[in-house]
Structure 1
Amino acid sequence: MDQTLYFILLLIALCSVSECVQRQYHFINERKTWTEAQRYCRENYTDLATVDSMNEMNNMNELKKRVNDRSVQYVWIGLQKTGCDEWHWSSGEPVLYQNWATGQPEGRDYCAMMKTGQWHDMACSATRRFICNNSEVNTGLVFVSKLKNWRNAQSYCRQNHIDLVRVRNQNENQQVEKIMNDSHISEAWIGLFRGSWQWSDLSDSSFRYWDTGEPNNSGGNEKCAAVKLNAQGRWNDISCDNQFPFVCHEDKLIVIRESLTWSEALRYCRQNHVDLVSVHSEEIQRRVMNVVKRASTAEVWMGLRYSRILGIWFWVSGETVCYQNWAPGNGSSEEDCEHAVRSGAVQSGGDQRWISRPEHHKLNFICSRY
């Protein structure tokens, strides 16, 4: 009984461990154009800085304090305007599930609302009521009856909750539709917007922190983003030919494009980096989704292992599997007990779900550097 109680308490403690930051920022106090800064970051770190969340933006704002030259107004980050408009979730996730109404999106507008259960594009300047996320998993949705344009609704949700609601599957679509019906409204903003801005490292992050009225493409040639030092760290679009200091980031995850068994991959990561990656939160899963696209195999090893003795999956770094992202038919004890040794991999395509594979398969793998 005492051993069982100890094991339960251990699981609770491990599931309470806070997330580690998966990206490290480096402030470079040299004036360069955006392209020169990009080249410098790629040669010395990973890339010009990508920002996934408000927490990361706060970390970046700490770096601003290192700018001693008062003539410096801006600091480059790795966001650049491209010619391709794509739909994104405000939370930074890719749009894998879609529920557009017939004839939608029309292609004229850049923000999306839900209307009687289906999506419609709408001018971002229009005012609508909206729905916020109050947790990382779409539970505790919050209906806000205030009329706001899309950007102000996004700011309100981020300041008071987490973000504008994202809709990743039919069940979540029904949740949003129900809260709208209960609130007796037919239209509400959701966290979907269309943009042509792309991160230098091709990350899926849709996080934006534009200053009021930005981006405005003043002069018709403002295609790069910079942090404005006197505007609470908010962003401006500006000509890429300007010379500013900049921020690089160094990813803590790296894909090794060499095909090894799970045990060989574990040994490689521990000898050359730190460990096979552990994915114990949705935020880290998004980082995995960003880097796994660089793999040359359809499946990629993670530090996930099945124990037949305990009958559980566990991370080799010590965490238990509290957050889960299994593909259907994978990760169950019944499925895994049929095999001697099973390990966990992530799909490099599709929706990047986790799958169970015999450990002697040879796959690419993801190492953690820190």
Structure 2
Amino acid sequence: MNSQSGLSGWINMMGRILIILAGFRLFVLAVHGSQEFNYYYVNETMNWTNAQAYCWSNFTDLVTIADDKELNEILDNLTRENYSDAEIWIGLKDINMTNGTWSNGETFTYRDWNKGEPSNNFVSCGTMYYHRNETNHNGTWNDCGCRNNKTFICYEVKRKFHAVNTNMSWFSALEHCNSNYNGMATIRSEREEWHLLKYLNGTNIREKVWIGMRRSRVFGFWFWMNDDPVIYQNWLNDSSKNIQDDQNCATLDQNQTKWVKQDCAGPAPFVCYSGE
């Protein structure tokens, strides 16, 4: 085979692959997200491992369901989009009796097993039942052999974090984030904080990092610079209530997984965000 025909064959093969991938993506149907996450129902069957790999490549991971509120939100949106009944892969793996782990590493605390489940004699993976015409759409879970082919739900963290390992004052860090991204990172929930800490663990930053919160010097309350409502706080020893000092900016301490106030002029690395 000469080089020209070989190149032509390679181009044709890549063209066919791209056409297949483009067609496959048409099966990805968005399910509206929460404040922190978007959900995506992939209406194509795969085994659990391939579904996980697909979610890693295109979104964040297979969906983790943390509580009743998140479960009901996913079910309601599946119904709103008029999807058919299905048994759907979720991010639950390593199921042995009632134990298991989430694909993304979150602690496995919430459970919604179907009656009599889990019942598999072997280590298995988790599915969720969806019944469009039932009042609560079911949503219960089953343990299933991981090699079976099922449709699945991925999730995506709406905001992307961007750590900057350069020591700056809080004000300089804020200016850098505003100029290059959407702003300095905010933390709207415990799960969003978990994802931020997981992200920082993959960097070479180990000290406290600036986040986009500061305190009003006049009134003493704390606020996010991008006007996000303050609906979650995680202060070390509730130190934020002491306003008799000049520590008016907030850092996230990775080692203690808590927020610590500091003098805004002090140098520290920081985290920006992009996205919603």
Give me the TM-score of the superposition, normalised by structure 1.
Answer: 0.54
Match of 1:354 among 224, 248, 259: 259
Name the structure 2 match of 1:79: 92
SS in 2 for 1:197: strand
Name the structure 2 match of 1:228: 129
Contact 2:95-2:126 within 8 A present in 1 as well? no
Structure 2 residue ranges without an equivalent (≥5): 1-33, 132-136
CA distance in 1: counterparts of 2:179 and 2:195, whole angstroms: 24
Match of 1:30 among 44, 47, 64: 44
CA 312–67 in structure 1, closer or farther in 2 if over 3 Å, else same: closer
CA distance in 1: counterparts of 2:231 and 2:36, whole angstroms: 18
Pair 1:266 & 2:169 matched: no
CA 39–322 in structure 1, closer or farther in 2 if over 3 Å, else same: closer
Aligned partner of 1:23: which letter? F
CA distance in 1: counterparts of 2:231 and 2:139, whole angstroms: 34
Q: After the TM superposition, which residues 145-224 of structure 1 pair with which residues of structure 2 at under 5 Å, given as runs?
A: 196-204=99-107, 206-217=109-120, 220-224=121-125
CA distance in 2: counterparts of 1:51 and 1:306, whole angstroms: 34
CA distance in 1: counterparts of 2:57 and 2:46, whole angstroms: 14
SS in 2 for 1:328: helix
CA 216–82 in structure 1, closer or farther in 2 if over 3 Å, else same: closer
CA 268–29 in structure 1, closer or farther in 2 if over 3 Å, else same: farther
Aligned partner of 1:333: which letter? I
CA distance in 2: counterparts of 1:201 and 1:274, whole angstroms: 25
CA 319–369 in structure 1, closer or farther in 2 if over 3 Å, else same: closer
CA distance in 2: counterparts of 1:366 and 1:203, whole angstroms: 23
Contact 1:315-1:321 within 8 A present in 2 as well? yes
Contact 2:125-2:146 within 8 A present in 1 as well? yes
CA distance in 2: counterparts of 1:216 and 1:302, whole angstroms: 45
CA distance in 1: counterparts of 2:53 and 2:157, whole angstroms: 16
CA distance in 2: counterparts of 1:267 and 1:48, whole angstroms: 35
Paired residues, number: 229
Show CA shifts across 1:80-116 (max 9, x none).
Answer: 1168xxxxxxxxxxxxxxxxxxxxxxxxxx9xxxxxx
SS in 2 for 1:334: coil
CA 265–233 in structure 1, closer or farther in 2 if over 3 Å, else same: farther
Contact 2:37-2:158 within 8 A present in 1 as well? yes
CA 265–253 in structure 1, closer or farther in 2 if over 3 Å, else same: farther
CA 226–323 in structure 1, closer or farther in 2 if over 3 Å, else same: closer
Contact 2:95-2:125 within 8 A present in 1 as well? no
CA distance in 1: counterparts of 2:111 and 2:253, whole angstroms: 28
Structure 1 residue ranges without an equivalent (≥5): 1-19, 84-109, 111-194
Aligned partner of 1:38: which letter? Q
Match of 1:59 among 56, 65, 73: 73
CA 252–210 in structure 1, closer or farther in 2 if over 3 Å, else same: same
Name the structure 2 match of 1:300: 209
Shift of 1:228: 1.3
Shift of 1:271: 5.0
CA 314–68 in structure 1, closer or farther in 2 if over 3 Å, else same: closer
CA 33–320 in structure 1, closer or farther in 2 if over 3 Å, else same: closer
Shift of 1:36: 0.8
CA distance in 2: counterparts of 1:303 and 1:367, whole angstroms: 10
CA distance in 1: counterparts of 2:179 and 2:154, whole angstroms: 26
Pair 1:334 & 2:237 matched: no
Shift of 1:58: 1.2
Name the structure 2 match of 1:256: 162
Show CA shifts across 1:225-265 (max 9, x none).
Answer: 11112461111110111111111101134443332433454
Name the structure 2 match of 1:314: 223
SS in 1 for 2:90: strand
CA distance in 2: counterparts of 1:200 and 1:274, whole angstroms: 29
Give me the TM-score of the superposition, normalised by structure 2.
Answer: 0.71
Name the structure 2 match of 1:100: none
Shift of 1:292: 0.9
SS in 1 for 2:56: helix
Percent identical pairs in the alignment equals 28
CA 237–300 in structure 1, closer or farther in 2 if over 3 Å, else same: farther
